[in-house]
Structure 1
Amino acid sequence: MSLASALNSARSGLSYTSRWAQTTSTNISNANTLGYARRAPQLATSTMGDPVITGISRAVDASLDRMYRVEAGRTGRQDALAQVLSVHTDVLGDTESTDSMLARLTDFRNSLGLLSLTPADSASQRAAVTDAQDLALALNRANEGLVQARRVAQSGVQQDVAAVNKSLAQIAELNRRIGQEQPGSDLQLSLQDQMTQALDDLAPVIDFTLRTTQSGEVELFTSGGAPLLEGNAPARLSYDAATRSLMAGDVEITPGVDGVRGLSEGTLAGKLGFLTSEAPAMQHQLDEVARALIDGFQSVEQANGGTVGLFTDAGGALGATYAPGLAGRIAVNDAVLPEEGGALWRIRDGMAAAVPGTAGDATIVNQMAAMLDAPMSFDAAAGLGETGTLSSYMSTLIASQQTARSEAETARDTFSAGAEAVQSRRMGFMGVNVDDELQQLLQIEQSYAANSQVLRVVSQMLDTLLESF
């Protein structure tokens, strides 16, 4: 090797070592920076056999990125569903609760049993009426819990839509800046780190597919294929609360709608799914309980010459059809409430009775008790069976709705564990191991010393040659 070749090799070695040291120190200083991907110099060999750095690469694995974001979206959906369901089920209670509608039904049935033994006793009449009111109020509370869950979900949808629009605008701006930078430059790498973090932040809210251009920019689509971001033009999301439809620009992306290329995972899909699926089904089930109560007592009243029974739809009779929310409107007939101008004895003699009947006649009371114990018909569309006693239907309802929450929480924990496992592998690949980087610094020091020694030796040899002339 000539002296010139040795000099060039040493100079190239020092240049490479310098850039390597810069990259390693950058890795160490950003070891705890969120979204930072480990840097590594890309090494090639020149035509003269010297080491040449052709660029700096980020340690990323698109497959792990995708897997993590899928699990994050699944976790987000189940977590959102569990949270809104808990608002309702905390009020609903369980089959062992002492203040649930099931417990209140049992209290009311027991009061009717006691009243049948002493139908003339005003205290027994008051107890039966009070327990009937408590039963109606328990249904009202359960309905209000569901209404409150809807409000929470509705507000959450609006917040998620705003968050997605903000994220898409941020990603579009990062696209613009990445496209302006020199490929592989420090600034472009830093912007790509920010892009990774922005995409990770978006994944729990909505699921998406990703396409990366040659210049490093990204394009986003819903899991169904509808465009969310193409180039630097994000599609603005909007939500219509009246129709419960979600739009990305002028394209509908509402989850669960046939023929729509929409979302399927993420907190936004979870909240919308509750509003369009779980909430209406649970409302139907609650309303079936209220309908059975009103209809059953109305049948007893009609059999005894009356019209409106002990339980009413906001004070009136139950029609052939009724608007959703019956469980929130059910109330005890004013005819038995002294505070509303009624009389307690009507629970013995019928709501339409003008004057008290025979004091010891428990016929109507026994009919009401028998009706509560007998099998009733329920709407099969509610999903809890077509026949059964009111108490068994209530038990099934409570268990079913509590199970929906429990299943959402279990699924959330399962997907969360999966996301953490993938993230651990991902961080092991792209994250910075400070011990490894410190070992590289030792190698850099040795490389620098070796190349410096070559320069010194070449310099001494040149000096010796010059002195010989």
Structure 2
Amino acid sequence: MSLASSLNTANSIFRNTSQQTSVLSTNIANDGNENYVRRQAVVVQTIYGASTVQNERSQQMALLRQMSSSTSQQGAQSTLLEGLTTLSDALGGNEYQLSPSSYLANLQSSLQSFAALPGEYALASTVVTDAIDVANSLNNATATTQEVREDADAQIFEEVQRLNKLLAEFKIVNDTVVRQTATGGNADDYLDRRDTLLKEISEIVGVSVNMRENSDMVLYTSDGTTLFETDPREVTFVRTFTYDSTVSGNAIFIDGTAVRAGVGGNTDGQGSLAALVQLRDVVAPTFQTQLDEIARGLIEAFQETDAGGANELPGLFTWPGGTVPPTGTVQPGLAALIQVNPAVRSDASGDPMLIRDGGINGAAYVKNTAASSGFTDLINSYVDELAANRSFSADADLKTDASVLSFASNSIGWLEELRSNATTANENKQALYERTFQTYSAKTAVSLDEELSLLLDVEQSYKAAAKLVSTVDDMLKAVLEMAG
């Protein structure tokens, strides 16, 4: 090897080690950055025999797709569980102390006590107090249910705005990637940013990825709607600010296609939007229907009839409608309107003993015509009516033939079964996400130990090149001395 070729070799080593050191330094600086994909500086031989360094990015497209999918599933499941937990908390948590079912059990017990001592005014007042608790429970549960819907609608609005911003940035980054790839530039930093945007988009809506020429990325929703192809598709939503049982929320449209609500406790929805629509349009309205049916059943169970057994009117429980709603037919919003009749409330100048005697709706409805202090027929009939089976609407997603007490208990069972399934599914999907993340990180993230080891190898290469230059220098000095 001539001295000139030795110097060229050393120069090549210096150049390569400089580039390798730069890449390794960048990797080390991004240790712990989950949005950074490790670079590799690989020394290759050109067709002319020279060595050069090529930068390679440790991309794993299959794992990125899996990461996107698991992120979408986890995002939907955690969103659904959060909403179900809010509804459960409104019932008093695990003991359900604030649920209509618990207060109904208290009402049944106080009625039985009153039947045993029908002349006790204090026991009549206790019945009224427990009835007020039942009505308040239904009112409060309805308010919480509608707040869940309202909050879900507000979150949808925020998520749609966020999604549109992410898609707008995605276009800028994707266009840069395509341009850099087509012209042979370095698109690594833009690829990192695009992958990060993809993960954030996946939290909001399920995404499938298709790659085209020059690393151009196309996004579709999990239902097959085009989300991004060269340009972002329009995502639109009109917010509804106030909810009650009669209000339906507006749909979310992606490229003109409505986002489908998730189904089940182990939701099949992907992304937070599908879960929010499920909460707003499926779970909360069904629970509200159950509350409305409990309220209707109570009005029906405690209704009064006149001496002829006709002219049914609300008794202990009433509502502004002033009639007994038809059996088995949902009266939307009834749970928010039900109240204890002022005629039996002592704080409204009413008489609690009307529960024993009848006549809440006037003299024609009095049953204890003899004014007997031991009269129990009406009280016992109320106890029987609470335990008697009656028809409920199938829209409540519960048994259509049950007592008011059983129906109220079944409502809790329905909600808790849904929440239990959602909790188990959330744990499973969280575990899947973590495993996928760990696998993805193992392939793409920076390992500080590995980078430092490679840095030592580069250092040895540098030392070898420096030694070669020193040797050539000594040889040149010897030649010059000989020429002397």
TM over 0.5: yes
1:311 aligns with 2:320: no
Equivalent position of 1:390 in the other structure:
404
State how 1:358-377 maps to structure 2 within 5 Å: 358-360=371-373, 361-377=375-391
**1:46-100 deviations in Å (ceiling 9; x for gaps):** 23323222x3121121111121221111111111111112222111236844443
SS of structure 2 residue aligned to 1:43: strand
For the structure 1 residues 278 and 233, does the alpha-carbon distance in structure 2 shift closer, same or farther, using more than 3 Å as the test? closer
The one-character-per-residue Cα deviations of 1:250-297 (angstroms, maximum 9, x if unpaired) are 33333359xxxxx93111111111112111221122222112111222
> Structure 2 CA distance, aligned partners of 1:122 and 1:292?
26
Partners of 2:73 and 2:271 within 8 A in 1? yes
Contact 1:111–1:127 under 8 Å retained in 2: yes
Whole-angstrom CA distance in 1 between matches of 2:107 and 2:175: 68
**Bigger shift: 59-68 or 169-178?**
169-178
1:241-280 map, 5 Å? 241=240, 242-255=248-261, 264-280=269-285
- For residues 154-169 of structure 1, the aligned pairs below 5 Å read 154-169=153-168
Return the offset for 1:203. 1.8
Aligned residues: 462
The 3-state SS of whatever aligns with 2:49 is coil
Alignment-derived partner of residue 260 in structure 1: none
C-alpha deviation, 1:243, in angstroms: 4.7
What's the CA shift for 1:323? 3.5
Cα offsets for 1:340-371 (capped at 9, x unmatched): 45433321232233277323322222211111
Query: CA–CA distance in 1 between the matches of 2:195 and 2:285?
Result: 38
1:423 has 2:422 as partner: no
Cα distance in 2 for partners of 1:99, 1:256 equals: 29
Q: Please name the residue that 2:65 is paired with.
A: 66
Structure-2 separation of matches of 1:70 and 1:134: 46
Counterpart-to-counterpart distance in 2, 1:256 and 1:90: 22
Q: What amino acid does structure 1 have at the position aligned with 2:285?
A: P
C-alpha offsets along residues 390-449 of structure 1, whole Å, 9 cap, x if unaligned? 222222211221222232222112211211111112111111111111111111111122
Letter in structure 1 aligned against 2:16: Y
1:291: which partner in 2? Answer: 296
CA distance in 1, matches of 2:407, 2:226: 46
User: Normalising to structure 2: TM-score of the pair?
Assistant: 0.87
Aligned to 2:74: 75
Residue of structure 1 in register with 2:14 after alignment: 14
Where does residue 92 of structure 2 map in the other structure? 93
Choose 339-348 or 206-215, whichever is displaced more.
339-348
Structure 2 unpaired stretches of 5+: 241-247
User: More deviation in 353-362 or 153-162?
Assistant: 353-362
Quick one: which amino acid aligns to residue 453 of structure 1? K
- Superposed displacement of residue 164, structure 1: 1.0
Measured in 1, the distance between the counterparts of 2:262 and 2:102 equals 36
Question: Normalised by the size of structure 1, how large is the TM-score?
Answer: 0.89
Q: Which stretch of structure 1 is more off in the superposition, 174-183 or 30-39?
A: 174-183
Amino acid at match of 1:367: S
Per-residue deviation, residues 10-35 of structure 1 (Å, max 9, x unmatched): 33232222211111111112213341
Percentage identity across paired residues of the two chains = 29
Deviation at 1:119, TM superposition (A): 2.9
Distance 2:152 2:438 in 1: 31
Question: Which secondary structure state, in structure 2, belongs to the residue aligned with residue 16 of structure 1?
Answer: helix
- The CA deviation at 1:177 is 3.1
2:53 aligned with 1:26: no
Shift of 1:185: 4.4
Aligned to 1:405: 419
Q: Does 1:221 align with 2:220?
A: yes
* 1:37 matched residue in structure 2: 37
Task: Tell me which of 343, 349, 352 is aligned to 2:351.
Answer: 343
List alignment gaps of at least 5 residues for structure 1. 258-262
Q: Distance in 1 between matches of 2:124 and 2:310?
A: 21
Q: Which moved more, 1:150-159 or 1:2-11?
A: 2-11
Conserved? CA contact 2:293–2:330, under 8 Å? no
Match of 2:245 in 1: none
How far apart are residue 380 of structure 1 and its match? 3.4
Q: Report deviation, 1:460.
A: 5.2
Q: Deviations over 1:197-250 (max 9, x none)?
A: 222222222111122343334222111221212214443333464553111243
Q: Distance in 1 between matches of 2:99 and 2:254?
A: 42
Structure 2 CA distance for aligned equivalents of residues 68 and 98 of structure 1: 41
Aligned with 1:215: secondary structure?
helix
Rounded to whole Å, the distance in 1 between the matches of 2:233 and 2:312 is 60
- The worse-fitting range, judged by mean Cα deviation, of 400-409 and 79-88 is 400-409
Q: Label 1:291 to 1:223 Cα distance change in 2 as closer, same or farther (>3 A).
A: same
Provide the rounded CA distance (Å) in 1 between the counterparts of 2:259 and 2:113.
58
Q: 1:291 to 1:301 in 2, by over 3 A?
A: farther
The one-letter code of the counterpart of 1:336 is V
